[in-house]
Structure 1
Amino acid sequence: MYQAQANRNKYLETSIQTATPAQLLIMLCDGAIRFCRAAIEAIKVNDMSNAHQNLRKAQDIISEFAATLDKNTSFSEDLLRLYDYFLHRLVEANMKKEIEPIEEVMGYLIELRETWVQASKLSTVS
Protein backbone atom coordinates (compact mmCIF):
# COMPACT_ATOMS: atom_id res chain seq x y z
CA MET A 1 0.00 0.00 0.00
CA TYR A 2 2.76 2.45 0.94
CA GLN A 3 4.66 1.71 -2.29
CA ALA A 4 1.57 2.38 -4.43
CA GLN A 5 1.10 5.76 -2.72
CA ALA A 6 4.77 6.60 -3.17
CA ASN A 7 4.58 5.72 -6.87
CA ARG A 8 1.46 7.86 -7.28
CA ASN A 9 3.14 10.81 -5.54
CA LYS A 10 6.21 10.47 -7.76
CA TYR A 11 3.98 10.37 -10.85
CA LEU A 12 2.12 13.51 -9.74
CA GLU A 13 5.38 15.28 -8.95
CA THR A 14 6.77 14.46 -12.40
CA SER A 15 3.51 15.52 -14.07
CA ILE A 16 3.63 18.90 -12.36
CA GLN A 17 7.32 19.48 -13.04
CA THR A 18 6.96 18.74 -16.76
CA ALA A 19 3.63 20.52 -17.32
CA THR A 20 3.29 23.66 -19.40
CA PRO A 21 1.80 26.74 -17.73
CA ALA A 22 -1.51 26.02 -19.50
CA GLN A 23 -1.48 22.42 -18.28
CA LEU A 24 -0.82 23.63 -14.73
CA LEU A 25 -3.84 25.95 -14.94
CA ILE A 26 -5.97 23.05 -16.13
CA MET A 27 -4.69 20.82 -13.30
CA LEU A 28 -5.48 23.54 -10.77
CA CYS A 29 -8.98 23.96 -12.23
CA ASP A 30 -9.44 20.21 -11.95
CA GLY A 31 -8.40 20.36 -8.31
CA ALA A 32 -10.72 23.26 -7.48
CA ILE A 33 -13.62 21.49 -9.20
CA ARG A 34 -12.83 18.26 -7.32
CA PHE A 35 -12.72 20.12 -3.98
CA CYS A 36 -16.02 21.88 -4.75
CA ARG A 37 -17.66 18.53 -5.49
CA ALA A 38 -16.25 17.05 -2.29
CA ALA A 39 -17.54 20.02 -0.29
CA ILE A 40 -21.02 19.60 -1.76
CA GLU A 41 -21.03 15.91 -0.86
CA ALA A 42 -19.80 16.69 2.65
CA ILE A 43 -22.57 19.24 3.20
CA LYS A 44 -25.14 16.73 1.96
CA VAL A 45 -24.08 14.27 4.66
CA ASN A 46 -23.70 16.99 7.28
CA ASP A 47 -19.90 16.60 7.53
CA MET A 48 -19.18 20.28 8.07
CA SER A 49 -15.52 19.82 8.96
CA ASN A 50 -14.82 18.06 5.67
CA ALA A 51 -16.91 20.65 3.80
CA HIS A 52 -14.83 23.41 5.39
CA GLN A 53 -11.54 21.72 4.50
CA ASN A 54 -12.53 21.20 0.87
CA LEU A 55 -13.87 24.73 0.49
CA ARG A 56 -10.60 26.11 1.92
CA LYS A 57 -8.63 24.04 -0.60
CA ALA A 58 -10.75 25.39 -3.47
CA GLN A 59 -10.28 28.92 -2.11
CA ASP A 60 -6.52 28.39 -1.92
CA ILE A 61 -6.39 27.37 -5.57
CA ILE A 62 -8.43 30.39 -6.64
CA SER A 63 -6.19 32.64 -4.52
CA GLU A 64 -3.23 31.13 -6.36
CA PHE A 65 -4.89 31.99 -9.69
CA ALA A 66 -5.18 35.60 -8.55
CA ALA A 67 -1.63 35.77 -7.16
CA THR A 68 -0.02 34.39 -10.30
CA LEU A 69 -2.13 36.35 -12.77
CA ASP A 70 -0.07 38.21 -15.37
CA LYS A 71 -1.10 41.79 -14.62
CA ASN A 72 0.15 42.96 -18.05
CA THR A 73 -2.56 41.21 -20.04
CA SER A 74 -5.57 43.12 -21.29
CA PHE A 75 -8.00 40.83 -19.48
CA SER A 76 -6.16 40.53 -16.15
CA GLU A 77 -8.45 42.97 -14.30
CA ASP A 78 -11.53 41.07 -15.49
CA LEU A 79 -10.06 37.75 -14.36
CA LEU A 80 -9.07 39.24 -11.03
CA ARG A 81 -12.64 40.44 -10.45
CA LEU A 82 -13.91 36.99 -11.43
CA TYR A 83 -11.54 35.27 -8.99
CA ASP A 84 -12.58 37.69 -6.25
CA TYR A 85 -16.21 36.83 -6.93
CA PHE A 86 -15.43 33.10 -6.76
CA LEU A 87 -13.72 33.60 -3.41
CA HIS A 88 -16.61 35.68 -2.08
CA ARG A 89 -19.13 32.98 -3.04
CA LEU A 90 -17.03 30.15 -1.59
CA VAL A 91 -16.55 32.03 1.68
CA GLU A 92 -20.30 32.61 1.77
CA ALA A 93 -20.90 28.91 1.13
CA ASN A 94 -18.45 27.98 3.87
CA MET A 95 -20.00 30.32 6.42
CA LYS A 96 -23.58 29.24 5.70
CA LYS A 97 -22.79 25.67 4.59
CA GLU A 98 -24.93 26.15 1.49
CA ILE A 99 -24.54 24.17 -1.71
CA GLU A 100 -25.88 26.73 -4.24
CA PRO A 101 -22.87 29.10 -4.16
CA ILE A 102 -20.50 26.15 -4.55
CA GLU A 103 -22.45 24.86 -7.55
CA GLU A 104 -22.35 28.32 -9.11
CA VAL A 105 -18.59 28.65 -8.71
CA MET A 106 -18.05 25.08 -9.87
CA GLY A 107 -20.01 25.81 -13.05
CA TYR A 108 -17.80 28.81 -13.75
CA LEU A 109 -14.68 26.78 -13.01
CA ILE A 110 -15.78 24.11 -15.49
CA GLU A 111 -16.25 26.81 -18.14
CA LEU A 112 -12.92 28.40 -17.26
CA ARG A 113 -11.21 25.01 -17.48
CA GLU A 114 -12.64 24.48 -20.97
CA THR A 115 -11.38 27.92 -21.97
CA TRP A 116 -7.86 27.02 -20.81
CA VAL A 117 -8.06 23.70 -22.66
CA GLN A 118 -9.02 25.50 -25.89
CA ALA A 119 -6.34 28.16 -25.38
CA SER A 120 -3.77 25.44 -24.77
CA LYS A 121 -4.74 23.72 -28.02
CA LEU A 122 -4.49 26.99 -29.93
CA SER A 123 -1.08 27.81 -28.47
CA THR A 124 0.35 24.43 -29.50
CA VAL A 125 -0.96 24.85 -33.06
CA SER A 126 0.73 28.20 -33.65
Structure 2
Amino acid sequence: MKFELAPDVKKTAETVNLKLDLGLDLERVEFIRSFGSRSRAYARTLALPSQWRYILDSRKIYIVEVISEKFDRLTCEDRVYIVVHELMHIPNGMRGGLRNHSYAGFRRIRHLTRKVLSEQELC
Protein backbone atom coordinates (compact mmCIF):
# COMPACT_ATOMS: atom_id res chain seq x y z
CA MET A 1 0.00 0.00 0.00
CA LYS A 2 1.00 3.57 -0.63
CA PHE A 3 0.03 6.65 1.41
CA GLU A 4 0.06 10.39 0.84
CA LEU A 5 -1.26 13.41 2.71
CA ALA A 6 -4.78 14.46 1.72
CA PRO A 7 -5.02 18.26 1.93
CA ASP A 8 -8.32 18.24 0.02
CA VAL A 9 -9.90 16.02 2.67
CA LYS A 10 -8.45 18.22 5.41
CA LYS A 11 -9.97 21.31 3.79
CA THR A 12 -13.38 19.59 3.63
CA ALA A 13 -13.02 18.53 7.27
CA GLU A 14 -12.16 22.10 8.32
CA THR A 15 -15.31 23.38 6.60
CA VAL A 16 -17.43 20.64 8.20
CA ASN A 17 -15.92 21.31 11.63
CA LEU A 18 -16.62 25.04 11.32
CA LYS A 19 -20.13 24.83 9.83
CA LEU A 20 -21.35 22.15 12.23
CA ASP A 21 -19.52 23.64 15.22
CA LEU A 22 -18.02 20.27 16.14
CA GLY A 23 -15.28 21.90 18.20
CA LEU A 24 -12.52 19.54 17.05
CA ASP A 25 -8.87 20.62 17.02
CA LEU A 26 -8.01 19.42 13.52
CA GLU A 27 -4.34 20.23 14.08
CA ARG A 28 -4.33 17.00 16.10
CA VAL A 29 -5.79 15.00 13.20
CA GLU A 30 -3.83 13.88 10.14
CA PHE A 31 -5.64 13.25 6.86
CA ILE A 32 -4.15 10.70 4.49
CA ARG A 33 -5.12 8.95 1.25
CA SER A 34 -4.18 5.32 0.73
CA PHE A 35 -3.71 3.50 -2.56
CA GLY A 36 -3.88 -0.25 -3.09
CA SER A 37 -6.08 -1.13 -0.13
CA ARG A 38 -8.36 -4.15 -0.35
CA SER A 39 -10.65 -2.76 2.31
CA ARG A 40 -14.38 -2.61 1.64
CA ALA A 41 -14.49 0.72 3.50
CA TYR A 42 -14.44 4.13 1.84
CA ALA A 43 -12.58 5.66 4.78
CA ARG A 44 -11.59 4.93 8.36
CA THR A 45 -10.64 6.83 11.48
CA LEU A 46 -7.82 5.54 13.64
CA ALA A 47 -6.68 6.62 17.08
CA LEU A 48 -2.94 6.64 17.71
CA PRO A 49 -2.25 4.74 20.95
CA SER A 50 -0.80 6.87 23.75
CA GLN A 51 2.41 4.78 23.78
CA TRP A 52 3.02 5.62 20.10
CA ARG A 53 2.33 9.31 20.73
CA TYR A 54 4.83 9.27 23.60
CA ILE A 55 7.57 7.52 21.61
CA LEU A 56 7.02 9.62 18.48
CA ASP A 57 6.61 12.84 20.49
CA SER A 58 3.57 13.59 18.37
CA ARG A 59 0.65 15.95 18.94
CA LYS A 60 -1.34 13.97 16.41
CA ILE A 61 -3.97 11.77 18.02
CA TYR A 62 -6.17 10.69 15.12
CA ILE A 63 -5.71 9.64 11.51
CA VAL A 64 -8.52 9.90 8.98
CA GLU A 65 -7.66 7.69 6.02
CA VAL A 66 -9.61 7.77 2.79
CA ILE A 67 -9.31 4.80 0.43
CA SER A 68 -8.48 6.38 -2.93
CA GLU A 69 -9.97 3.64 -5.12
CA LYS A 70 -13.39 4.14 -3.54
CA PHE A 71 -13.43 7.66 -2.09
CA ASP A 72 -12.13 9.49 -5.17
CA ARG A 73 -14.92 8.09 -7.38
CA LEU A 74 -17.70 9.46 -5.15
CA THR A 75 -19.78 12.53 -5.84
CA CYS A 76 -18.98 15.66 -3.87
CA GLU A 77 -22.03 15.16 -1.66
CA ASP A 78 -21.00 11.60 -0.85
CA ARG A 79 -17.43 12.70 -0.04
CA VAL A 80 -18.77 15.30 2.40
CA TYR A 81 -21.02 12.61 3.91
CA ILE A 82 -17.98 10.34 4.43
CA VAL A 83 -15.96 13.16 6.04
CA VAL A 84 -18.86 14.03 8.39
CA HIS A 85 -19.15 10.34 9.29
CA GLU A 86 -15.45 9.99 10.04
CA LEU A 87 -15.38 13.18 12.15
CA MET A 88 -18.33 11.84 14.16
CA HIS A 89 -16.02 9.06 15.38
CA ILE A 90 -13.82 11.65 17.14
CA PRO A 91 -15.19 12.73 20.54
CA ASN A 92 -15.09 16.40 21.59
CA GLY A 93 -12.52 15.73 24.34
CA MET A 94 -10.06 14.28 21.80
CA ARG A 95 -8.26 12.10 24.34
CA GLY A 96 -7.61 9.15 22.07
CA GLY A 97 -10.90 7.27 22.15
CA LEU A 98 -13.30 6.72 19.29
CA ARG A 99 -17.09 6.86 19.20
CA ASN A 100 -18.88 3.81 17.88
CA HIS A 101 -21.87 3.80 15.55
CA SER A 102 -24.36 3.82 18.43
CA TYR A 103 -23.52 7.52 19.07
CA ALA A 104 -26.65 9.63 18.41
CA GLY A 105 -24.84 11.87 15.93
CA PHE A 106 -24.60 9.05 13.43
CA ARG A 107 -28.38 9.10 12.95
CA ARG A 108 -28.17 12.72 11.75
CA ILE A 109 -25.30 12.48 9.28
CA ARG A 110 -27.43 12.90 6.13
CA HIS A 111 -29.09 16.00 7.64
CA LEU A 112 -25.72 17.43 8.71
CA THR A 113 -24.27 16.80 5.24
CA ARG A 114 -27.11 18.74 3.61
CA LYS A 115 -26.56 21.58 6.10
CA VAL A 116 -22.87 21.83 5.20
CA LEU A 117 -23.56 21.70 1.47
CA SER A 118 -26.33 24.30 1.59
CA GLU A 119 -24.15 26.84 3.38
CA GLN A 120 -20.85 26.27 1.60
CA GLU A 121 -19.52 25.91 -1.93
CA LEU A 122 -17.61 22.65 -1.54
CA CYS A 123 -18.56 21.03 -4.82
Same fold, judged at TM 0.5 (above): no
TM-score, reference length from structure 1: 0.29
Task: Name whichever structure is richer in strand by fraction.
Answer: 2
Task: Name whichever structure is richer in helix by fraction.
Answer: 1
Structure of higher CA gyration radius? 1
